[in-house]
Homo-oligomer: A and B are copies of this chain.
Amino acid sequence: MDRFDALLPRPVSVRPKPGSLRITHDFSLKIEGEPGERLSKAALRFQKRLADKTGLFLEAGEPGQCALVLQCERVGELVLGEDERYSLDVTPTQAVLRATTDIGVLRGLETLLQLISADQEGYIIPCVEIDDEPRFPWRGLMIDSARRFQPLDVLKRNLDGMAAVKLNVFHWHLTDDQGFRVESNEFPLLHELGSNGEYYTKEQIRDIVAYAHDRGIRVIPEFDLPGHAASWVIGYPELASAPGPHVRHIDIGVLDQVLNPIKESTYGFLERFFAEMITLFPDEYVHIGGDENNGKQWLANPEIVQFMREHDFETILDMQSYFTERVLGILTRLGKKMIGWDEILTPNLPATAVIQSWRGRESLVEGARAGHKIILSNGYYIDLCQPAEYHYLNDPLPSDMELTPQESTNILGGEATMWSEVVSPETIDSRIWPRTAAIAERLWSRREDCRSEDLYERLDVISLHLEELGLTHEKNYPQMLRRLARGRKISPLQTLLDVCEPVQGYERVIQRKYTVLSPLTRAVDAARPDARGAREFRNLVRHYQGEVATGSRLKERLRIWAQNHEALAPIIEHSPVLQEITDLSRSLSTIATLALECLESPGRSLNEHEKTALAEAKEPRGQLQLVVVSAIEDLLTKER
């Protein structure tokens, strides 16, 4: 795959030209225009990444002989809709990267790094003219630091990954039932009693905000209210809608705890709280959550019921709408705009509030028609371990969407959401990457450029590129296999897990009770969405038309699987945590053996016992799904 095809996200326009610009040890750059400190820092990072990729000991070349010129007119502002356009002109003597803002230049530098190639003489950048700009202005990744705390290095490397694929909003889910993760001086019991001691100090918050700022990424903090607030009321029970005792919750799941919406003191508290928090977060938006309030505690509280009656609130949503408007009032007084999950979308919600659509696309259409700005997250829930292609096909604004052009402009973009019920710092990158790169392309590139036929091949390329930024989605896989194999050879385990995926959707947490302390070191945690071995096998089967070479490769694969259980069984015996995948391992060998037999005897039909074996092979075991069974069935159908 050539460098232009591999570019991800695909630029608006790519015009290759003959020749290439050579990268040598005196490759140097200069900045023209009004760059500001952010671009100077970005240029240093670019040089380091260039040196790391090439092993070149870069030295300043002759003045006036700069190979790369960065030009921008002004320092960009980190606000919604800021100009991120850039154009890149690479000739054999020089690359010129032009943009209105330094943020545009940052986007272009990422494209440039993806273009680095090699010929027999050394490293080059192929000559090309590129013009590029984003389709949507809001392209985000949400990380849930509340349920499972995510250390700073996890966030930083993911911010680097975001910048590499031109995402521009880091939505930071900072509070939830299971943990309150921001230091507050106004209300110190929030983080002291609302967490297990794992929270971000103000200095650390500023560090992350600055780190994101340097990469042209906005940071939107989320303080989830009025539900998901069990961690708030431990230290401040006066906020609660129900009597205590209020304790820390470690179970996964939605709790009943909800703030008391009828006490004036609640709003006084929140006004002081938000006034403190906005000193940390310069972005114009603050996310107030608003999701999944089941209302049980409100209906069980006679005073709240009485208040609802007095105000003619018929439903929980009416009561919450009142709460939301009060909070909106606070944020407005503080000079901030509000964003919330789609539950906040009620008829009397002022149009200034932004809606994040998570439950379905209905709220997207409804909200856009009502004049709200909307971002899409439904279909981008990367915690659910669905395939990259599924997310990729999810267009926030498909061509058949029934909106007027004016209404369409209300669709701002989307956000991938990394909820942390069952991810640890060790596994989180493998749940975010490379699938989030597919979402990033969907949000940046033009609709017609989002073609899924070579998506996975391109994700393989960007995946290695992302690894260079410190992301651990590749390297932690064998690490986890080493732990599981307890010193034995990992290859049989890898052969199995290369064709297994974690169960998709909410099955993982429905099938088994998890707490935020449950170990995430099992086979299901090591396995990854879009299992590579299964994908390769499916591709072979899909294109197989009886060719001898492909047939041999398929049989070779099947033979390895057929023998794998024999190799894996002693490892499982040596490592009790693997016992839950014994049947899965046996299944793979059984169906591979069966498939080989069928391939050897064309026309042979399956008996009932064998059909059962194939059906059983599809059942999840150890919360893992064998994802080659259908492809094997297809193969048998083709051969018959």
A interface residue numbers (CB < 8 A to B): 48, 51-58, 118, 120-123, 151-153, 201, 203, 460-461, 464, 467-468, 472, 474-476, 478-479, 482-483, 486-487, 513-515, 517-519, 521-522, 573-577
Contact = CB atoms under 8 A, between A and B. Distances in A.
Contact of A57 (B120, B152, B475, B519): B519
Contacts of A478: 475, 478
A244 to B, nearest CB: 22
Contact of A55 (B152, B487, B514, B519): B519
A540 B482 CA distance: 25
Contact of A118 (B118, B120, B514, B575): B575
Given A48-B519, A54-B519, 4 more contacts: A52-B519, A53-B521, A55-B519, A468-B483
A203 B56 CA distance: 36
B519 A118 contact: no
A56 B519 contact: yes
Contacts of A577: 54-56
Contacts of A55: 519, 521-522, 576-577
A54 B576 contact: yes
A479, A519, A573, A575, most chain B CB atoms within 10 A: A519
19 contacts: A48-B519, A51-B517, A53-B521, A55-B519, A55-B577, A56-B577, A57-B513, A57-B518, A118-B486, A118-B576, A201-B203, A203-B203, A464-B482, A464-B486, A474-B482, A475-B476, A475-B478, A475-B479, A478-B478
A20 to B, nearest CB: 13
B476 A464 contact: no
A201 B206 CA distance: 13
B475 A120 contact: no
Contact of A483 (B51, B53, B476, B576): B53
Contact of A475 (B475, B486, B519, B575): B475
A636 to B, nearest CB: 30
A521 B203 contact: no
Contacts of A514: 57
Nearest to A426: B470
Nearest to A574: B118
Contacts of A518: 51, 57
A521 B437 CA distance: 25
Contacts of A513: 57
Closest 6 CB pairs of A and B: A55-B577, A51-B519, A153-B153, A475-B475, A122-B576, A52-B521
A165 B140 CA distance: 42
Contacts of A53: 483, 521
A138 to B, nearest CB: 30
Contacts of A574: 118
Contacts of A472: 475
Nearest to A512: B57
A55 B578 CA distance: 9
A120 B487 contact: no
A108 to B, nearest CB: 22
A224 to B, nearest CB: 26
A54 B518 CA distance: 11
B573 A120 contact: yes
A474 B464 CA distance: 18
A545 to B, nearest CB: 27
A48 B198 CA distance: 15
Contacts of A151: 153
Contacts of A515: 57
Contacts of A118: 486, 574-576
A485 to B, nearest CB: 9
Contacts of A475: 472, 475-476, 478-479
A56 B576 CA distance: 10
Nearest to A524: B55
A467 B483 contact: yes
A36 to B, nearest CB: 15
A116 B581 CA distance: 21
